[in-house]
Structure formats: C-alpha cells, structure tokens
Structure 1
Amino acid sequence: MKISVVIPTLNSEKTIKLAVSSSLKLADEVIVVDSFSTDRTVEIAEKEGAKVLQVKGSRLIARIEGAKHAKGEYVVNLDSDMYFSENFKGFEEKVIALGEITVGKGIVYKLMSADREIVHEKWAENLSVNKGGIIPRMYDRQLLLKAYEMIPPSLRDKLNAFEDSVIYYNVMKLYKGKVQFIPGAVYHIEDDSLWRFMKKWYKYGKNAKLLRGTEYERIIYERKSRPGLTLGEKVKLFPLMVIKGIPFALGYYLNIGNKV
C-alpha cells in the first residue's frame, strides 16, 4: 500500500521540518502545498525531501491540489503542526481516523490535551459525521477525489476552516464501509498563546458563515458539544468551550453579510 501525505502550509517554518521528516519515515511521498509563504517554509520542506507545490487559494484548494498530484493509494491530510507516531500502522479500511496526542505547553496545551483524551476514550461516539469530535484524515485516494468533486466551487475557493469536516461529510455520502480509528497515530503541537488561540477561533467563526444555507451548515450547529460525555466531563471541558465559543460567535455573527 502506497501512502501520500498532503500538508497545506502558510508560514509554517517552526513545525514543517518535523511534519515532513516524520512523514517520510512512514509514507511513500510528502506533498507540501504552500500558499506562498514569506518565511523559510518552502526551503525547509524541500530540504527535508518533500515535493512542494505553490498554489493560490484556500486550505481546501490546497488539500484538493495535493490529492490530485499524489501517487499513493491512500492520502493522509496532515496539518503542518502534526507529526506521526509509531502507532501509525495497521490500516484495514478506506476511511481512517488518526487519534491525536497533544504536545506543547501552556494553558492551550492543557485544555486541548484534556479535550482529546476524553474524546478519544469515547471515539466510537465521536466518529459521527455531524456531531463527532474526531475527523478522519486518511482516505482511499479515489474515494477522496470523488468527494472533492462534490464540493461546490464557491466553498472550494474560500474555505480555510472546517474543510476536513466538509471532506468527511462528502466521503461518507459515497462510502458505506467502516471507519477505522487508530489511537495515538499522530502528535499535534499546541503551542499557541491564549490570545492567538482565540484569534484562530474568531477566524473559524468567519469561515463558518460560508456554510450557511448549504447542506454542511448542520455541522456547525450539531458540534456545539462532544457526544457521550458525563456531567463531570462536560464540566471539565466547559472552559475550553467558552474560550472557543466566544471568539467563534463573534467571528460568525459580526461578519454576516460580509466577505471572509
């Protein structure tokens, strides 16, 4: 089985070396799709052995272009702040969710670590397309390409957040098999300050308005809380919900009718 890893980048020089080097230990090729970074992202990625494409457009466009150029039977949609663990193995299905291990420091790391630990313990409930907190990142390439064709051009050109959810939604309209979950398959770096983290969720809110009036709109409303949580777990994750939810709501409602 040949595996291609696709990594969208924009000024990702701090993390791209680890993302590429870990990928090439386990995959057959790494395709970095760069949105014309102004730092050393491209230089570092090429030095580590990645094939680099420079493409104008959204993160979703980057994902699509990477898959088009990929030669593997499977495509892994990795982020530039992720890298593989030794648990990335044992593939049995055409759609595979990669459990994430949070690494980093500070308050954002602590909150995201708690969230992922709880969600991954309840992975079966959290693989729900609309309500779940786990989004698959590894797909049969032909299945993935068909799913990309189903996404409206207006979203392809603009969507810089929730693209992984939209991809999963479309894949599962085509795929009737099982979704495999591999615990601890990748590490996810969470080193943002609280302010940067909230700014990121403000941008997510702005992007979410692009889904208004589409079949994907339900994803936004149905993912307000994780499924299968006890009251104690909900209390534990409440601070994270607030830190995400307030800037998200501001980005969403303050930008209704405006361009992203």
Structure 2
Amino acid sequence: MKISVVIPTLNSERTIRLAVVSSLRVADEVIVVDSYSTDRTVEIAEKEGAKVLKVKGSRLIGRIEGAKAASGDYVVNLDSDMYFSENFKGFEEKVIALGEITVGKGIVHKLMILDREIVHKKWSENLTVLNGGIIPRMYDRQLLLKAYEMIPSSLKDKLNAFEDSVIYYNVMKLYKGKVQFIPNAVYHIEDDSLWGFMRKWYKYGKNAKLLRGTEYERFIYERRSRPGLTLGEKVKLFPLMVIKGVPFALGYYL
C-alpha cells in the first residue's frame, strides 16, 4: 500500500520543512502544491525531498491537483502546519480521520488543546458529515478523485474555507463503508496570536459566502457547536466558539 501526502502551500516557509520531513518518514511521496509563494517555501520543500507543483488557485485546487499527480493508493490531505506522529499507522478503511495533537504557544494554543481533547473523546459523534468536528484527511485515492469530479468548478477555483468538509461530503456520497479514526496521528501547530486567529476566521467567513445557494451551505449553520457534548463541555468551549464565530459571522454576513 503506497501513501501520497499532498500539502497546499502559500508562504509556508516557517513550517514546511517539518511537514515534509515527517511525511517522508511515513509516506512514499510528498507533493507540495504551491500557490506561487514569495518566500522560501518551494526551496525548502524541494531540498527536503518533496515534489513541488506550482498551481495558482485555491486550497481546494491545490488538493485536487496534488491528488491527480499522486501515485499512492491513499492520499493524505495535510496542511503545511501539520506533521506526523508515531501513531500514524493501522489503516483498515478507505476513509480515515486523523486525530490531532495541538502544539504551539499562546492563548489560541491553549483553547485549541481543550477543543481537541473534548471533541476527540466524542469522536464517533463528531465524524458525522454535516456537523461533526472531525474531518477525515486520508482517503483511497480513486475514491477521492471521483469525489473531486462532483465539486462545481466555481468552487474549485476559489474555495479556501470548508474545502475539507466539501471533500468529505462528496466522498460519503460514494462510500458506504466505515470511517476509521486514528487517535493522535498528527501534530497541528497552533501559535497564532489572538488577533491573527480572529482575522483568519474573518477571512474564512468571507470565503464561505461561496457556499451560499449550494448543497454545501448547510455546513455554515450545522457546525456552530460540536455534537455529543455535555453542557459543561459546551461551557468550556464557549470562549473558542466566540473568537471563531464572531469574526466568521462578520465576514460571512457583512
């Protein structure tokens, strides 16, 4: 079984080395799909052994073009601020969710640790397609390519938010098997400042306008809270919901 890792990038020089090096320890190839970075992202990725494609466009286009170029039986849709742990093993299904370990610094890091700890304990409820808090990142390549063909061209060209949810939604139209969850399979670097994190979610809200009037619009409303949580757990996650939700709503509705 061959594994290909696809990583879309744009000015990701700070984290891309770790992403590529860790990927090559567990995968047969790493494909970095760069949207014409102006920093050293491409140079670093190539030096560490990644195959680099330069494709101007959205994160979704990066995912698609990377999968087309891949040769593996499986494709892992990694982000440039993620890297693999020793728990990345034991693959049994065609759709696999990878539990994330939060690393970083600052208040955002602390809030995201709490969010992932709580959500991962309720992982079975959080794998639901429409409102789950865990989105699979590893797919059978042929299944993934068929799912990509189902996404409208208007979204492929521009979508930089909710792209992983759109991918999962279309995969599950085709796949009736089990979704596997592997705990603590990848590390995710979260060291944004509070202001930077809120600005990012504002941009996500603006980009999510592309989903209006499509079958994917339901993601915007159904993902407001994590399923399967107790009242106490919801209270603990309320601050994170606010710092995500307020800027997102401003970007989406204004």
TM-score between both structures, scaled by the size of structure 1: 0.97
Structure 2: distance between partners of 1:145 and 1:58: 17
**Which position in structure 1 is the counterpart of 2:114?**
114
Q: What is the DSSP-based 3-state SS (H/G/I as helix, E as strand, rest coil) of the residue aligned with 1:185?
A: strand
- 2:54 paired residue number: 54
Same amino acid, percent of matched pairs: 89
Report the equivalent of 1:244: 244
Q: Which residue type is aligned with residue 28 of structure 2?
A: D
Deviations 1:118-176 (A, max 9, x none): 00000000000001000000000000000000000000001011100000000000000
- Two-structure CA RMSD over aligned residues (Å): 0.4
| Alignment partner, residue 189 of structure 1 | 189
Partner of 1:220: 220
2 CA distance for matches of 1:137 and 1:245?
23
Structure 1 runs (4+) greater than 6 angstroms displaced: none
Deviations 1:66-87 (CA, angstroms, capped at 9, x unpaired): 0000000000000000000000
SS at match of 1:247: helix
Secondary structure at the aligned position of 2:89 is classed as coil
Give the Å deviation of 1:220. Answer: 1.1
Code of the aligned partner of 1:155: L
Q: CA deviation at 1:219?
A: 1.1
C-alpha distance after superposition, 1:77-126 (max 9, x if no partner): 00000000000000000000000000001000000110000000000000
SS in 2 for 1:145: helix
Alignment of 1:27 with 2:33, yes or no, is no
Match of 1:97 in 2: 97
Aligned to 1:234: 234
Equivalent residue number for residue 169 of structure 1: 169
CA distance in 2, matches of 1:97, 1:198: 26
Contiguous gaps of at least 5 residues in structure 2: none
Given residue 191 of structure 1, which amino acid in structure 2 is its aligned partner?
D
Unaligned runs of 5+ in 1: 255-260
Q: How does 1:59-70 map to 2 (within 5 A)?
A: 59-70=59-70
Match of 1:210 in 2: 210
User: How many residue pairs align between the two structures?
Assistant: 254
Q: Give the secondary structure class of the aligned counterpart of 2:47.
A: helix
Q: Distance in 2 between matches of 1:152 and 1:5?
A: 24
- In the alignment, the residues of structure 2 paired with residue 155 and residue 190 of structure 1 have an alpha-carbon distance, to the nearest angstrom, of 27
Normalized against structure 2, the TM-score is what? 1.00
Whole-angstrom CA distance in 2 between matches of 1:227 and 1:108: 22
